[in-house]
Structure 1
Amino acid sequence: MNSILIIDDDPHILNLVKVTLKDAGYQTHKAIHGIEALSILEKYVIDLAIVDVMMPKMDGYTLTRKIKNTYDIPVILLTARGELHDKEHGYTAGTDDYIVKPFEPKELIFRIQAVLRRYDKPSTYIINLGDVKIDKRNYEVQIGKQHLLMPLKEFELLALLASRPNKVFNRDYLIESIWGIDFQGDERTVNVHIKRIRERLREVTSTIEIVTVRGVGYKLEVTSE
């Protein structure tokens, strides 16, 4: 499930976009200005940002440049300014698409899907960390010449952590991403799965390690290359 950050100082637009995205099956985070958006990007894994141009504290063009320079995620500018020079400014800042208000909610979803498809490159299916290779196409973990068999949820959890080494994932995010929003369990489910993954990895490699961040969640560290 993709996670999308919406940044807009207009509460009506913010809530409209949030409802539209949730109905389409996306996870959402909201921010009313660029400073808050950057704070969220430091804490959560975000797959795409929707950025308003005219905002207090930091305009959308500046925020877009910061996002593109720091995080490898697509940006869609959502703005009332539709003149050619405004679009030029947006694309120069690095935006992947540009939508002018007012907009049709369905069009926003189509644009998001198109942008995410462009970022869904074959290379993203393979994660290489030292001697560990994680292939998300066939749910396979390979350490050197050895293949590690893992239950589906354990594999998905490991692949998610490995997708952003050193990034701290909080337990709620892990539950929503792997088990879904409607999951009735609690964080003990994550803890048990992490324990099992650690046990499996410990037997075959010392290249990667899942570290507990007290009171927050987990991160995967590469201990050697």
Structure 2
Amino acid sequence: MCAYVLVAEDDPKQAELVRRYLCREEHTVRVVADGRSAIDEVRRDRPDLLVLDVMMPGVDGMDVCRVLRREFDLPVLMVTARAGADDKLLGFDLGADDYLTKPYDPRELMARVRSLLRRAARPATASLRIGNLVLDPVRHEVRVGERPVPCTPAEFRLLATLVAAPDQVFSRGQLVEQAYGLDGHITERTIDVHVMNLRRKIEHDPRDPEYLRTVYGVGYKITDGRRREG
């Protein structure tokens, strides 16, 4: 699968290494060295995938992701020397689809690139609905009633997995595997972050959710939003 990949990396040697590996698989590659240029390039000529370094001068990768997620659905692979769990969770919270820590094997980078491009190319299915909650995979839209709900691609995949099996209880591990695949860099703790963010977006009261419910000691399930006694 040939694609247009934008690489935002301020280290020239690292950028050239990534460029060469991507070109070997016949991708079209453009390299920029700062966050502002990355934002401008995505807006000008939307790529199929963004490989995004976090620590860049001026506008860093986290801010780039925050800005672009308001406008685009393109897959984002964050690459950074920050290995802390909080950094990874922040990246996912801002809308990154995968997260790779330096130093890394370029072959792993390419495996993650292939995985993200495959996911983005999967054919859309019919709309999914439970109660007033509707997911449209064709338009990549979520609505509660008539209210549009902006979701990142990672949040959308999690929600789609749950809505496709209403009232089925999923463990965090099952959601990692079924929503993102075993080759993703998603952890069970990341699932909790996505659930928290989705509740803020789809629930009338996130502290007392009607749709996305916790099954204590097991995991999560989605319901039709109607209250049940007992």
Alpha-carbon separation, structure 2, partners of 1:97 and 1:45:
19
Shift in Å, 1:68: 1.9
RMSD (Å), alpha carbons:
1.3
Alpha-carbon separation, structure 2, partners of 1:123 and 1:108:
26
Paired residues for 1:87-98 under 5 Å: 87-98=88-99
Alpha-carbon separation, structure 2, partners of 1:66 and 1:115:
20
Do the aligned partners of 1:53 and 1:59 also contact (CA within 8 Å) in 2? yes
Paired residues for 1:196-215 under 5 Å: none
Counterpart secondary structure, 1:76: strand
Alignment of 1:51 with 2:55, yes or no, is: no
Normalising by the residue count of structure 2, what TM-score does the alignment of the two structures yield? 0.52
Shift in Å, 1:51: 0.6
Counterpart secondary structure, 1:6: strand
Q: Where does residue 122 of structure 2 map in the other structure?
A: 121
Q: Where does residue 84 of structure 1 map in the other structure?
A: 85
Shift in Å, 1:118: 1.5
Q: Where does residue 37 of structure 1 map in the other structure?
A: 38
Do the aligned partners of 1:68 and 1:74 also contact (CA within 8 Å) in 2? no
Do the aligned partners of 1:77 and 1:98 also contact (CA within 8 Å) in 2? yes
Alpha-carbon separation, structure 1, partners of 2:78 and 2:34:
14
Shift in Å, 1:37: 1.0
Paired residues for 1:159-178 under 5 Å: none
Alpha-carbon separation, structure 1, partners of 2:54 and 2:33:
12
Q: Where does residue 17 of structure 2 map in the other structure?
A: 16
Higher-Rg member (1/2): 1
What's the CA shift string for 1:154-198, capped at 9, x where partnerless?
Answer: xxxxxxxxxxxxxxxxxxxxxxxxxxxxxxxxxxxxxxxxxxxxx
Shift in Å, 1:111: 0.4
Counterpart secondary structure, 1:30: strand
- Number of aligned residue pairs: give it: 124
Alpha-carbon separation, structure 1, partners of 2:55 and 2:34:
9
Alpha-carbon separation, structure 1, partners of 2:120 and 2:24:
22
Q: Where does residue 188 of structure 1 map in the other structure?
A: none
Deviating beyond 6 angstroms after TM superposition, the runs of 4 or more aligned structure 1 residues are none
Alignment of 1:73 with 2:105, yes or no, is: no
Q: Where does residue 217 of structure 1 map in the other structure?
A: none
Q: Which runs of 5+ in 1 are unaligned?
A: 125-225
Counterpart secondary structure, 1:82: coil
Q: Where does residue 27 of structure 1 map in the other structure?
A: 28
Shift in Å, 1:121: 2.5
What's the CA shift string for 1:200-221, capped at 9, x where partnerless?
Answer: xxxxxxxxxxxxxxxxxxxxxx
Shift in Å, 1:55: 0.8
Q: Where does residue 61 of structure 2 map in the other structure?
A: 60
What's the CA shift string for 1:67-116, capped at 9, x where partnerless?
Answer: 22212200000001111111111111110000011111111110011111
Shift in Å, 1:45: 3.2
Counterpart secondary structure, 1:122: coil
Q: Where does residue 3 of structure 1 map in the other structure?
A: 4
- Look up the equivalent residue of 1:49 and give its one-letter code: L
